[in-house]
Structure 1
Amino acid sequence: MPTQVVQVQPSTNAFSSFIQFWEDVKAIAGPYWYPTKSGERAFSDVIRAWGMLILLLLLIILFVGINAGNTFIHRYLIDVIIQEKDYSKFTSTISIYAVGIISITLLLGFNKFLRRQIALDWYQWLEKNILNKYLEKRAYYKINFKADIDNPDQRLSQEIEPITSSAINFSATFLEKALEMMTFLVIIWSISQQIAIAIIIYTIICNFIGGYLNQEFIKINQAELESKGDYSYALTHVRNHAESIAFYQGEQQELNIIQRRFLILIKNIQRKIGWERNQAIFNRGYRGAIELGMLLVLAPLYIKGEIDYGQVGQATTASYQFAAALEELIREFGVSGRFSSYVERLSEFSDALEAVTKQPENVSTIKTIEENHLAFENVTLQTPNYEQVIVEDLSLNVQPGEGLLIIGPSGRGKSSLLRAIAGLWNAGTGRLVRPPLKEVLFLPQRPYIILGTLREQLLYPNTNRQMTDAELKDVLQQVNLQNLLSRVEGFDTEVPWENILSLGEQQRLAFARLLVTHPNFTILDEATSALDLTNEGSLYQQLQDTKTTFISVGHRESLFNYHQWVLELAQDSSWQLLPVQDYRLQKAKEIVTNTSENTEITIDNSSQDKSQNESEISTSKRLSHKEMNALTYYSVSTIRSKASKGESITTTDGLTYRYDKDPKVLKWVRV
């Protein structure tokens, strides 16, 4: 029957969820408290952690014992005041009672201190452990390709500390309140067994109700965490892309996105407020019921003379303490809902980091060999999901000191080849021979600007290198950034560099790192796209002077002047490797061939007195500025300038052209 399915399924899910939760807790806590692998933790650190934990346990037992003992002293004190009315006994008893209160106060302070210290030590180790997982084997890069792992920065910065503090607080509070409840229940049992049995039954019922409330509270906490992360990411996204948003004038659209995520967060908070209200009513309700029930039972017993006034006071105090302990315990179970959410997200994050760094089984990968040169040997490169072939059966060898330029249509895998060299992508077959990565410097189109001083910017990634201010000034001069020092106080000034440097300045700063590092191999991915031709030429000339072996990806035709070889990638995953001169000649012939097919021979019979030269021009091939650019070493702007001045141009194949300014022609024609 459908009702049977509905009844059984939640139980199964609840049990499996608890098992999974417990496995997650063991995976997080085990390496810290029970290290089984060598090198996980120093033995002295483990002993220190357990020593503080045992000390906390002893403090809790001592705290509960003194607190319970004080109820007997309080009972005796009441009898002395009301029945015996003996002042000397009162002073001695009140002194003992005061010592108990002072002891409880001090124990409570040390208890809180030890909890925080144990949680802090655990948090420090756990944060370091997860950070190592995040940064080793480039997991921080690969995790971005897993769509189910959201906001890794929030998980690292905001969701680890609550795990350790909540775990220690919950464990200590559970032990403390459970001992208190048992102790005060024994005290109540000694006064009235009927009341003790009623309290036990009442406690079981309340725990069932509290458990139900906590289950829903866990879901609400999980939703709140996710919505907070999404809202925080939206704000960070605006900060990181402020200039692009300003160019697009997209403020209203960004505001709509942020407000949409903020409204989701508000709805989750409102749900949480509602459930917290219900919990508060429940907690205060059962506590009041216990106090009221105690008075209803104890008052008649006292009136009948079956118990004295001190017993009434002790039983009332014990019941109040029992109710307070139970309330605190259920409140901690409520907090554990948030703890459960944090544990689930951290475990999910940790498992994902291990998964992305684990070498997949039964898949082909490119074999990487570390030698002092760079070569592809029958390499077929695929996307990481093995769904698309980027380049097929590539074989080439970059000679020391030479430059290779990779060109091709947008999206055809030019940058992917660089990722393969860097070891980021290895899906495919064949062998990749490359030097150790510490000998290779990568210059991306958007340079990485670190959080640090100008000195650290220039020395990155080896910020421990020693260089004088004079040497660094000389480097800035070479990359045309000599005015940068006038904008800051010195090399040891830390400012938000990404905000004060233009993209062109950032690219020149990246080239400065090259001049500082002097790498044997350099990889440039559109590294001069934001520079003018003069700065580009200056930087590439200095790159050639360093005798480094370099590979560039780019679209600018000016880059042909600084490389010896061209690797062209095609749409069908094929490729061709040619010397620069041969490649330019090949393209020139293709343009001439394509132009010849579209050339029309024009005969003007109305102008018989035209010169022989004009007759030749009228029957010649007509080329645009762009077509002339492909046949020469000149830029398009230079070709336009020569056209306006009426100057002729000789192409790489030895033919001479001049620009025909006739409005009906406006083309370069061969003389």
Structure 2
Amino acid sequence: MPTQVVPAQPLTNAFSGFTQFWEDVKAVVQPYWYPTEPGERAFSDVIRAWGMLILLILLIIALVGTTVFNSFINRYLLDIIIKEKDLSKFFDALLLYGIALALVTLLVGFSKFLRKQIALDWYQWLNNRILSKYLSSRAYYKINFKSDIDNPDQHLSQEIEPIASNALSFSATFLEKVLEMTAFLIILWSISQQVAVILVAYTVIGNLIAVYLTQELNKINQEELESKADYSYCLTHVRTHAESIAFFRGEKQESNIIVRRFSHLIKNAKRKINWERNKDIFNRGYQAVIQIFPFIVFGPLDIKGEMDFGEISQAALACNLFATALAELINEFGTSGRFSSYVERLSEFSDALDEVTKQPENVSTIKTIEENHLAFENVTLQTPNYEQVIVEDLSLSVQAGEGLLIVGPSGRGKSSLLRAIAGLWNAGTGRLVRPPLEEVLFLPQRPYIILGTLREQLLYPNTNRQITDVELKAVLQQVNLQNLLSRVDGFDTEVPWENILSIGEQQRLAFARLLVTHPSFTILDEATSALDLKNEGSLYQQLQETKTTFISVGHRESLFDYHQWVLELSQDSSWQLMTVQDYRTQNASITKPPTNAQIKTDDSSQDKSLNQAEINTVEGFSHKEMNALTYYSISTIRSKASKGESITTKDSFTYRYDKDPKMLKWVRV
């Protein structure tokens, strides 16, 4: 039977994991320290960063050299005190020792300052770089559709700074402690080669144990980051939706969620404490053995008179400093696990930002043309993942100064059309003609309230616009918010607006922005849903007076009074465009009682009105109604309408499509 060779899978996984970690580190480090892409960093900034780094290295070398020099001064002092007993030499050596100690103090202070300054500069650049990627090409919006990236705000606020500070701390400490260990090992070698060899062997064994202890800590640190992020997010979620939770009296359920996530955080913290206990015991025991080691070896030699006390003291000091340097180095390796976690998460976040902003290949997208009007030309809109068709073969044009109202069942894609206009969704086919987005103002159902003053709220998004307080007061009067100034100390007061303004007041504040900016085009997504009919009517009348071209999404019948056209979206991705008058007539005819119903009325004008509705229903049909009367699909019926072709229904009547803007119906030939 042939021998089966089992591959060393753990070793392979470890190597691939290290390779991936190194790639992640390069992605974070290289653009700052060794930029290869044009425009990544200014050459002067790169030179400044390298100059500070070289100066830090020189300070560390000087610090280690001075520390080694102090060990010889210490040995010399002890020899003078014990053997020579020369007071003049003692004071000279003491002065030199004091100067060396003062120099060590200055070198430690300046090296730590320079280390923090380099880390701060790196953090500032890295934060600006990631933030720029986050806010460019609407990545901050698109990243929400990527389910494997959680808490992007935490990535930005909490996980960038530790990368720079940990990297500088580890690198500087590693260099300093390796130099110290090397220098003191040379000193020990000059005193006793046997002791130096034993110390090196002990160091190798200790490092292997330390690596084993830190491996589990690295995993725990990664889990700690995730559990803290989840716990922080659920608390933020409660603050954001405080009113809804209060209405539902959902405190108990929210408490269960918070306690569950906090329990996971505590469980992870206990595991970390246990492993850190093991590591601390090892570190302390490791140092203790090295501290007692020189006395065991050199003590008998001093008693026998075979070695001077100063030499023994220097050897003991060298062993002690060697142990201290090694302990700090091991501790840095332990914290490097957290560093690797931060690097991994930031690298994943950065890659995700690149992915969501990258133009997809081999997929159809809606072509966008910027002109001074708004039109859909044979547009078929799909969800961003191309899994669902929202509307099919849409063709319409909104004339300047007119209002278009989009209606339809909930979840049928009314707001999705607005996303297409804004360029947020472009999956599909066809051509979208729209003005530059700088000329379009979007008013969502839940207005966006910025963190700023009342003046900035009114001027957003063009907060640099110059407008007087008198003009702003007049705008507040127009939207029935004249009492708002009595609740704050003027236009330049910054307060938590989302907490002090109701949804209705926020919607009126959004309308105030419209009156301030005077956009050429306005998009309203149920922007008056929280207002009473009087306030809604007042705002829409002012909107009409601005002569802006506007598109609204809504369900209220009152909105028909302020629009000329209605676009109705159906469940089967079909659509129909008609005037408001025709839409009302169609709905009235659809909802009228059956013809055999007994309607008793003494008002002859009502009978006349009902008959007129019946006549209109017979004389003109929508695409959807023609679909029910024929064997053709909606798309085929729309195609024949656009080409001017006639259709014969199941009852053998022939119809043609009347393209008159006041008609837009199939009429019998």
- SS of match in other structure, 1:482: coil
Task: Describe the shift of the 1:27–1:260 C-alpha distance in structure 2 as closer, same or farther (beyond 3 A).
Answer: same
Aligned equivalents of 1:474, 1:615: Cα separation in 2:
50
Compute the displacement of 1:230 (Å).
Answer: 0.6
**Do residues 220 (structure 1) and 185 (structure 2) align?**
no
Structure 2 residue aligned with 1:599: 597
Q: Is the contact between residue 525 and residue 554 of structure 1 (CA under 8 Å) also seen in structure 2? A: yes
Structure 1 residue aligned with 2:128: 128
Compute the displacement of 1:109 (Å).
Answer: 0.3
Structure 2 residue aligned with 1:512: 512
Aligned equivalents of 2:292, 2:99: Cα separation in 1:
31
Aligned equivalents of 1:294, 1:420: Cα separation in 2:
77
The 5 Å alignment of 1:481-630 reads 481-592=481-592, 595-596=593-594, 599-600=597-598, 613=602
Structure 2 residue aligned with 1:393: 393
- SS of match in other structure, 2:25: helix
For 1:332-383, what per-residue CA distance to the aligned partner results, in whole angstroms no more than 9, with x for missing partners? 0001010010000100101001100001111111111111110001100000
Structure 1 residue aligned with 2:86: 86
Compute the displacement of 1:302 (Å).
Answer: 2.0
Compute the displacement of 1:601 (Å).
Answer: 7.3
Aligned equivalents of 1:3, 1:467: Cα separation in 2:
82
Aligned equivalents of 1:554, 1:293: Cα separation in 2:
83
Structure 2 residue aligned with 1:368: 368
For 1:130-187, what per-residue CA distance to the aligned partner results, in whole angstroms no more than 9, with x for missing partners? 1000101010011111111111111101111010000001000000000000000000
Task: Describe the shift of the 1:175–1:574 C-alpha distance in structure 2 as closer, same or farther (beyond 3 A).
Answer: same
Which range is displaced more, 92-101 or 288-297?
Answer: 288-297
Percent of pairs identical after alignment?
75
Aligned equivalents of 2:64, 2:293: Cα separation in 1:
24
Structure 1 residue aligned with 2:176: 176
Aligned equivalents of 2:508, 2:490: Cα separation in 1:
18
Aligned equivalents of 2:447, 2:260: Cα separation in 1:
33
Aligned equivalents of 2:209, 2:610: Cα separation in 1:
91
Task: Describe the shift of the 1:408–1:86 C-alpha distance in structure 2 as closer, same or farther (beyond 3 A).
Answer: same
Q: Is the contact between residue 220 and residue 271 of structure 1 (CA under 8 Å) also seen in structure 2? A: yes
Task: Describe the shift of the 1:286–1:102 C-alpha distance in structure 2 as closer, same or farther (beyond 3 A).
Answer: same
Structure 2 residue aligned with 1:278: 278
Which range is displaced more, 442-451 or 281-290?
Answer: 281-290
Task: Describe the shift of the 1:598–1:77 C-alpha distance in structure 2 as closer, same or farther (beyond 3 A).
Answer: farther
Structure 2 residue aligned with 1:146: 146
Task: Describe the shift of the 1:206–1:485 C-alpha distance in structure 2 as closer, same or farther (beyond 3 A).
Answer: same
Task: Describe the shift of the 1:49–1:570 C-alpha distance in structure 2 as closer, same or farther (beyond 3 A).
Answer: same
- SS of match in other structure, 1:524: strand
The amino acid that maps onto 2:9 is: Q
- SS of match in other structure, 1:596: coil
Compute the displacement of 1:448 (Å).
Answer: 0.1
The 5 Å alignment of 1:198-217 reads 198-217=198-217
The amino acid that maps onto 1:178 is: V
Compute the displacement of 1:300 (Å).
Answer: 2.1
Q: Is the contact between residue 596 and residue 621 of structure 1 (CA under 8 Å) also seen in structure 2? A: no
Task: Describe the shift of the 1:556–1:254 C-alpha distance in structure 2 as closer, same or farther (beyond 3 A).
Answer: same
- SS of match in other structure, 1:568: strand
Structure 2 residue aligned with 1:55: 55
Compute the displacement of 1:287 (Å).
Answer: 1.1
Structure 1 residue aligned with 2:640: none
**Do residues 355 (structure 1) and 350 (structure 2) align?**
no
Q: Is the contact between residue 389 and residue 573 of structure 1 (CA under 8 Å) also seen in structure 2? A: yes
The amino acid that maps onto 1:64 is: V
In the superposition, the TM-score normalised over structure 2's length comes to 0.89
Task: Describe the shift of the 1:614–1:527 C-alpha distance in structure 2 as closer, same or farther (beyond 3 A).
Answer: closer
Q: Is the contact between residue 599 and residue 621 of structure 1 (CA under 8 Å) also seen in structure 2? A: no
Compute the displacement of 1:616 (Å).
Answer: 13
The 5 Å alignment of 1:279-294 reads 279-294=279-294
- SS of match in other structure, 1:122: helix
The amino acid that maps onto 1:368 is: T
Structure 1 residue aligned with 2:655: none
For 1:422-473, what per-residue CA distance to the aligned partner results, in whole angstroms no more than 9, with x for missing partners? 0100100011110110100000000000001100000000000011010000
The amino acid that maps onto 2:53 is: L
Structure 2 residue aligned with 1:656: none
Aligned equivalents of 2:468, 2:604: Cα separation in 1:
68
Aligned equivalents of 2:550, 2:28: Cα separation in 1:
45
The 5 Å alignment of 1:270-349 reads 270-349=270-349
Q: Is the contact between residue 458 and residue 516 of structure 1 (CA under 8 Å) also seen in structure 2? A: yes
Aligned equivalents of 1:170, 1:2: Cα separation in 2:
46
Compute the displacement of 1:292 (Å).
Answer: 2.0
Structure 2 residue aligned with 1:409: 409
Compute the displacement of 1:306 (Å).
Answer: 2.6
For 1:258-280, what per-residue CA distance to the aligned partner results, in whole angstroms no more than 9, with x for missing partners? 11111111111111111111110
Q: Is the contact between residue 189 and residue 195 of structure 1 (CA under 8 Å) also seen in structure 2? A: yes
Compute the displacement of 1:38 (Å).
Answer: 1.9
Q: Is the contact between residue 526 and residue 554 of structure 1 (CA under 8 Å) also seen in structure 2? A: yes
Task: Describe the shift of the 1:598–1:51 C-alpha distance in structure 2 as closer, same or farther (beyond 3 A).
Answer: farther
Aligned equivalents of 2:495, 2:522: Cα separation in 1:
28
Aligned equivalents of 1:615, 1:560: Cα separation in 2:
28
For 1:537-558, what per-residue CA distance to the aligned partner results, in whole angstroms no more than 9, with x for missing partners? 1100110110100000000011
Q: Is the contact between residue 416 and residue 425 of structure 1 (CA under 8 Å) also seen in structure 2? A: yes
Q: What residue ranges of structure 2 are gaps of 5+ in the alignment?
A: 612-669
**Do residues 197 (structure 1) and 197 (structure 2) align?**
yes
Aligned equivalents of 1:138, 1:47: Cα separation in 2:
33
Aligned equivalents of 2:442, 2:602: Cα separation in 1:
54
Compute the displacement of 1:14 (Å).
Answer: 1.3
Task: Describe the shift of the 1:200–1:600 C-alpha distance in structure 2 as closer, same or farther (beyond 3 A).
Answer: same
Which range is displaced more, 241-250 or 293-302?
Answer: 293-302
Compute the displacement of 1:614 (Å).
Answer: 10
Aligned equivalents of 1:275, 1:179: Cα separation in 2:
29
Deviating 4+ runs (over 4 angstroms): 1-5, 612-618
Compute the displacement of 1:577 (Å).
Answer: 0.4
Aligned equivalents of 2:549, 2:200: Cα separation in 1:
80
Aligned equivalents of 1:180, 1:3: Cα separation in 2:
49
Task: Describe the shift of the 1:601–1:261 C-alpha distance in structure 2 as closer, same or farther (beyond 3 A).
Answer: same
**Do residues 235 (structure 1) and 235 (structure 2) align?**
yes
The 5 Å alignment of 1:244-255 reads 244-255=244-255
Q: What residue ranges of structure 1 are gaps of 5+ in the alignment?
A: 603-611, 623-671
Task: Describe the shift of the 1:2–1:526 C-alpha distance in structure 2 as closer, same or farther (beyond 3 A).
Answer: farther
Structure 2 residue aligned with 1:644: none
Between the two proteins, the alignment pairs up a number of residues equal to 609
Task: Describe the shift of the 1:153–1:2 C-alpha distance in structure 2 as closer, same or farther (beyond 3 A).
Answer: farther
Aligned equivalents of 1:493, 1:103: Cα separation in 2:
52
- SS of match in other structure, 1:578: strand
Aligned equivalents of 1:61, 1:448: Cα separation in 2:
55
The amino acid that maps onto 2:150 is: D
The amino acid that maps onto 1:596 is: P
Compute the displacement of 1:597 (Å).
Answer: 5.1
Aligned equivalents of 1:11, 1:258: Cα separation in 2:
39
Q: Is the contact between residue 373 and residue 433 of structure 1 (CA under 8 Å) also seen in structure 2? A: yes
Compute the displacement of 1:76 (Å).
Answer: 1.0
Compute the displacement of 1:617 (Å).
Answer: 11
Cα RMSD (Å) of the superposition?
2.0
